A and B are shown apart, each in its own frame.
Chain A
Amino acid sequence: VTDVLQQSLRVRADQGASTTRMRTRSMRRKRSVTALLFMVPFLAVNAIVILGPSVATVYYSFTKWSGLGTPSWVGLRNYRDMLTSSEFWAAATHNLVWTVIFLGFSLTLGVTGAVLLAQVRRGRLALRLLYFLPYTIASVVTASIWQNIYDPDRGVGRFLSHIGIGNVAVLGDERYALPAVSFINVWAFWGFIVVVCMAALQSVDPSLYEAARIDGASRWQQFRHVTLPGIRPTLAFLIVITIMFSLLVFDYVWITTQGGPAGATEVVGTLLYKEAFERFDAGYAAALGVSSTAVCGLVGLLYVALRRRGWEV
């Protein structure tokens, strides 16, 4: 009798265990569904605006397409056209020049500003705010202010002719237009670097400076051997995003010169815009989009790979 009873108890216990197991499984499924439901708003707009069109861009880059009719498959022709087009290479070169100017000036000004600000106490917050202010101003207004400053009659041109250098229309001159436009971007961005670097400087161990001073290190040596290594991860991140911004630049060029004079400021971003919406060669524009994204992706991957290797960048 006890055997039977024990057995039936065991069976009942098993059944109980399996129903709770089933219940926990269905509860877990229910919880996953709830979690997904909370992601729905994000995923829905993302799928329509970003994911879907991004995948479509990759497809269209292999087609001839005006944007309206049916696309016809052309294989790699758009990419071949791109790589043999002098217009594309000129634009890509301008992106590189832009990167050098934008990165060089923004980083130098930004790091200098941050390191010096960390040394003073009076007015630190006010100065930080002032440096950051240009970053918050709309690109159309920023560009307009600088067009005013660059103007040969109303801006520095007038000043230059006063001191006898001669009147230069900076934005109208093929030699100066590209550096001048990219410098507008420097003005708008360097304050951002100041703020980010200042936050990074806070995490540098003060005792390292003391130790360096005891060893008789000069200011420059302290900067070189304590400050720079201390903020290296932040610097690497800033360099990466600055390069990416340079490869994708559009606003300042479009607003000030639209790529002119004579293509002197044409960058891949403006070229893409013209191909897609003015020349209606959307397939080719898609190839340009895929290519510039790929280059940005490579820069990003290089950064991630270096970090993984423990470069502490």
Chain B
Amino acid sequence: MTIGRQRSGSGPERAHPLAFPALLVLACFAFVPLLVLVSNALKTKSELGTNPLGPPIHPVLANIPHAWSSGGFATTMTNSTILAVSSAIGVSVIATTAAYALTRLRLPGGKGMMMYVFICTAIPAQLFVVPLFFLWTRLRLSDSLIGLVLIYWAVFSPFATLLMRSFLLTLPRELEDAARVDGATELQVLTRIVVPLARPGVLVVALITALFAWNEFYFATTFIQDEGLKPIATSFLAFRSKYSTDWGLISAAGLIMILPPALLFLALQKRFIAGLTAGGLKG
């Protein structure tokens, strides 16, 4: 991503005089709703009544600890962290091994396999959610974090595999061939040579998977009913209907939910953007 450093190259040479103002209007469109969230999180209930959309006049922080304790965030934050971390680790392993097979090994029917992975990135949840739900109920995997993680592994790995594949294709092969000549097994080549070289790619896959798992709603709401196992996304919804009149509290809860990924995103934004735009995943 060298967008910032490169000379503009595209578009007419001089910016249209209205270009910058228009861009600022778009920036407001993107940012004002977020500002509403943050400012409402800092308002008391009475201030929200008189000043619902403006900036807080008497900002208070009390909503945040209040939302934290009454929303059971200690539990749900843990659940979401477990989901995000184990999805990230699992999908990284699955995608790296699969991409390795697709790019480096003589996979029988390799082209067909590639096609299948590609099709899987486009298969909608609607096609498999119904039997999956009843299968998971029978296997006692619904209302279980392990059950949900398994689904995330399967759902996120096709996209991650394609991402890893395009990354592995850019890596030089000389070192791998040398190791093979020295008698290294394929597993050794993968773990000792390819993975260290591919670390940036693995990191992108892990980050994006963690973000998707943290934000994921459809499978979480379908497969987890137990309050103690709910991740943040679905418990936030329950919290919202419970405190439907207190927007300060709801905004504070929303803020708590988006803060961890937002900080991670801001810290590693270039990697995030490069990976997320490598293929559209969610609408």
Contacts and interface: CB of A to CB of B under 8 A. Distances in A.
Interface of A: 28, 31-32, 34-36, 38-39, 41-42, 45-46, 48-50, 52-54, 56-57, 60, 67-68, 102, 109, 112-113, 115-121, 123-125, 127-141, 144-146, 148-149, 151, 153-155, 158-159, 185, 187, 189, 191-192, 195-196, 198-199, 201-202, 204, 206, 209, 213, 219, 222, 227, 230, 238, 241-242, 244-246, 248-251, 254-255, 268-269, 272-273, 276-277, 282, 285-286, 288-290, 292-293, 296, 300
B100 interface: yes
Contact of A112 (B22, B34, B105): B22
Interface stretch (B59-67, B197-205, B233-241): B233-241
B107 A36 contact: yes
Interface string B218-233: 1001100000000011
A296 B254 contact: no
Contact of A145 (B37, B110, B135, B158): B37
Contacts of B161: 42
B150 A49 contact: yes
Contacts of B272: 136
A66 to B, nearest CB: 9
28 contacts: A32-B106, A45-B150, A46-B120, A49-B128, A50-B155, A52-B131, A53-B127, A54-B127, A119-B19, A120-B19, A130-B27, A130-B30, A131-B26, A133-B30, A136-B276, A140-B237, A140-B240, A145-B36, A148-B251, A154-B48, A191-B30, A192-B277, A195-B277, A196-B277, A244-B124, A248-B283, A286-B130, A293-B124
A144 B250 contact: yes
A41 B158 CA distance: 12
B108 A189 contact: no
Of all A-B residue pairs in the complex, the 7 with the closest CB atoms, nearest first, are A245-B283, A49-B154, A35-B105, A38-B101, A53-B128, A138-B215, A154-B52
A133 B76 CA distance: 23
B150 A31 contact: no
Contacts of A28: 106
Contacts of B44: none
B8 interface: yes
B56 interface: no
Interface of B: 3-4, 6, 8-16, 19-20, 22-23, 26-27, 29-31, 33-34, 36-37, 40, 48, 52-53, 93-95, 97-98, 100-102, 105-108, 110, 113, 117, 120, 122-135, 150-151, 153-155, 157-158, 161, 186, 190, 211, 214-215, 217-218, 221-222, 232-234, 236-237, 240, 247, 250-251, 254, 257-258, 261-262, 265-266, 269, 272-273, 276-277, 280, 282-283
A188 B260 CA distance: 18
A149 B23 contact: no
Given A49-B154, A219-B16, A41 B93 contact: yes
A32 B107 contact: yes
Given A42-B161, A202-B6, 5 more contacts: A133-B265, A141-B37, A149-B53, A202-B9, A285-B130
Nearest to B40: A148
B10 to A, nearest CB: 4
Contacts of B222: 273, 277
Contacts of B158: 46
A165 B255 CA distance: 32
Given A144-B254, A219-B12, A293-B124, A185 B283 contact: yes
A301 B12 CA distance: 36
User: Quick one: which of A68, A119, A130 has the most chain B CB within 10 A?
Assistant: A119
Given A28-B106, A149-B33, A206-B9, A289 B258 contact: no
A244 B107 contact: no
A136 B262 contact: yes
A245 B218 CA distance: 14
B258 A244 contact: no
Contact of B123 (A50, A209, A282): A50
